[in-house]
């Protein structure tokens, strides 16, 4: 069974991508149709199609129902798509860069940087020039950017970045930033603010708003195109730097692109959804175990797989015990983990095959 799927995915990647895209569209439709508020399938789609194409008359539909569908559920489903894809693409970039199977989107210290930023925004109350208080999301974004710059600057030696240095510097910077966050939390006068900040970092899509969606989607598309352009050099680099250089690959340039791309993807995702674990680590491995390490196949399939996984995890997070929503990271690890373990055992998969 698995072998068949594997062969199908490898030999007919384009065809499989189309099928997965159709699945993704169906998944988005399902995600928009489900929620704690009971709204009929017909009503949901009348509202969506009305807003998209001006079809149907919305007379008799309550204003609150329209808000729920168009302003809460649609952004949430699209955000799930963008974040799932972003984390997966970022995971691929970092795994390719470090040639380390344990590399994940947060390897550049992004999660601890984002935590510091979020906690700082929440606890200290940073005021922006506009006179408004800095939001936790913006704090997380700035925190992650600061950590990336730190890691990048410290890992660079004579204009080059060695993968192992990057991992080590990432670990050290993470530790420092985490200590800083803990210091802030322990000395913060107000318990309520601490809880808010840590709760925010748990990761999830529940705060999705329409205006949050455009940027992650754009970043996702740009990164996808960028990664597809460098897919062949990435394949060459998997065989070792010297072989890549012989094949005429500018290894240093490709690495810079990978870091930039991963940083952009992850910090955008973190700013809109906190830190969601596991997706960026596991989806690329699952896809590789099925289709091999050709990046031309791994990249599009992972993008679709990541989106699918996160949207379904989010559906589960809000449907398992309504009206309470579980943190989505629990679901991604609880269901993604066993699948991953099964694949490792069934396929005797090892990284870089």
Partner 1 sequence: MKKSIALLLAVLMCLAMFAGCGKENGGGNDPQKQESTYPQEYVTYMDMKITVNAEPQRVIAANTNTADQLYAMGLGDRIIGVCYKNSLINPKYQAEYDKARIINEKAATLEQLVAEEPDFVYGRSSAFSEKNGTTHDILTSYGISSLSSIEGYKLGADVEDVYTDFEILGKIFNKQDRAAEIINEMKTKISDVENAVKDKEVVKVFVYDATRDDGAYTCGNNFTAKLIRHAGGVNIFEDMEKTWATVSWESVIDANPDVIIINDYGSETLEHKIEVLQSNPALQSITAVKEGNIISVTLCECFASSMTADTVEKFAKAFHPDCFK
Contact footprint for partner 1 (CB under 8 A)? 35-37, 62, 64-65, 67-68, 71-73, 125, 132-133, 135-137, 187-192, 195-196, 199-200, 202, 204, 206-209, 274, 318, 323-325
**Biggest CA-to-CA distance, the chain:** 68
Supply the minimum distance, in Å, between the C-beta of residue 45 and partner 1. 17
Q: Shortest CA distance to 72 belongs to which of 43, 100, 40, 34?
A: 34
Report, in Å, the least distance between residue 323 CB and partner 1: 5
**Would you report the helix, strand and coil content of the chain in percent, each value rounded to 5?**
75, 0, 20
Is 138 within 8 Å of 122 (Cβ atoms)?
A: no
Judge whether 106 and 278 are in contact, CB under 8 Å: no
In the complex, the smallest distance separating the C-beta of residue 139 from partner 1, rounded to whole angstroms, is 10
DSSP secondary structure, 66-96, as one string: HHIIIIIIHHHHHHHHHHHHHHHHHHHHHHH
Closest CB 333 distance from partner 1, rounded Å:
19
Cβ-based nearer residue to partner 1, 248 or 323 = 323
Distance CA 129, CA 323 (A): 39
Joined tokens for residue 145: 């950017």
| CB-nearer residue toward partner 1: 172 or 188 | 188
Q: Which is nearer to partner 1, 4 or 38 (CB)?
A: 38
Name the residue nearer to partner 1 (CB basis): 34 or 251.
34
Residue 58 CB, shortest distance to partner 1, in Å, is: 16
Number of residues assigned to the chain: 353
Cα–Cα distance measured from residue 77 to residue 24, given in angstroms and rounded to the nearest whole number? 11
- What's the angle, vertex CA 188, arms to CA 182 and CA 191, rounded to 5? 100
Q: How far is the CB of 6 from partner 1 (least distance, A)?
A: 39
Cα separation, 96 vs 292, whole angstroms: 13
Any bridge partners for residue 133, and if so which? Answer: 127
Tell me the three-class secondary structure of 221-232, residue by residue: HHHHHHHHHCHH
Whole-number minimum distance, CB 176 to partner 1, in Å? 23
Distance CA 101, CA 64 (A): 47
Contacts of 106 (CB under 8 A, 6+ apart): 112, 266, 275, 280
Nearer to partner 1, 121 or 237 (CB): 121
Smallest distance, Å, CB 201 to partner 1?
Answer: 9
Q: Are 200 and 63 in contact (CB under 8 A)?
A: no
Q: Which is nearer to partner 1, 204 or 233 (CB)?
A: 204
Output the smallest distance, CB 239 to partner 1, in A: 44
Instruction: Kindly state the smallest distance separating residue 257's Cβ from partner 1, in Å.
Output: 33
Compute, in degrees rounded to 10, the torsion defined by CA atoms 247, 254, 285, 271.
-170
Nearer to partner 1, 35 or 80 (CB): 35
Give the separation between CA 138 and CA 69, rounded to whole angstroms.
Answer: 26
């Amino acid at each position: 069974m698995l072998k068949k799927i594997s062969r199908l995915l490898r030999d007919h990647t384009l065809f499989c991508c189309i099928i997965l895209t159709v699945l993704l569209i169906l998944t988005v439709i399902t995600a928009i149709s489900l929620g704690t508020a009971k709204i009929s399938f017909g009503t949901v789609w009348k509202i969506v199609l009305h807003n998209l194409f001006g079809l149907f008359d919305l007379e008799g539909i309550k204003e609150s129902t329209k808000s729920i569908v168009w302003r809460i559920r649609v952004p949430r489903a699209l955000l799930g798509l963008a974040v799932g894809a972003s984390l997966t693409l970022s995971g691929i970039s970092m795994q390719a860069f470090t040639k380390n199977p344990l590399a994940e989107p947060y390897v550049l210290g992004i999660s601890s940087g984002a935590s510091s930023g979020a906690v700082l925004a929440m606890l200290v109350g940073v005021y922006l020039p506009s006179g408004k208080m800095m939001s936790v999301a913006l704090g997380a974004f700035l925190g992650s950017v600061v950590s990336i710059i730190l890691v990048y600057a410290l890992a660079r030696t004579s204009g080059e970045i060695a993968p192992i240095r990057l991992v080590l510097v990432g670990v050290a910077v993470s530790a420092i930033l985490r200590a800083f966050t803990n210091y802030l939390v322990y000395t913060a006068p107000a318990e309520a603010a601490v809880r808010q900040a840590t709760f925010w970092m748990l990761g999830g899509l529940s705060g999705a708003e329409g205006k949050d969606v455009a940027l992650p989607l754009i970043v996702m598309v740009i990164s996808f195109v960028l990664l597809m352009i460098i897919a062949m050099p990435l394949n060459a680099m998997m065989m070792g730097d010297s072989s890549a250089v012989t094949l005429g690959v500018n290894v240093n340039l490709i690495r810079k692109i990978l870091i930039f791309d991963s940083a952009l993807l992850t910090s955008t995702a973190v700013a809109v959804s906190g830190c969601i674990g596991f997706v960026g680590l596991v989806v690329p491995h699952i896809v590789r175990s099925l289709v091999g390490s050709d990046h031309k196949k791994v990249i599009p399939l992972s993008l679709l797989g990541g989106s699918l996984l996160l949207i379904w995890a989010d559906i589960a997070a809000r449907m398992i015990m309504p009206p309470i929503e579980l943190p989505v990271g629990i679901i991604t690890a609880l269901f993604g983990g066993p699948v991953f373990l099964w694949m490792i055992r069934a396929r005797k998969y090892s990284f870089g095959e």
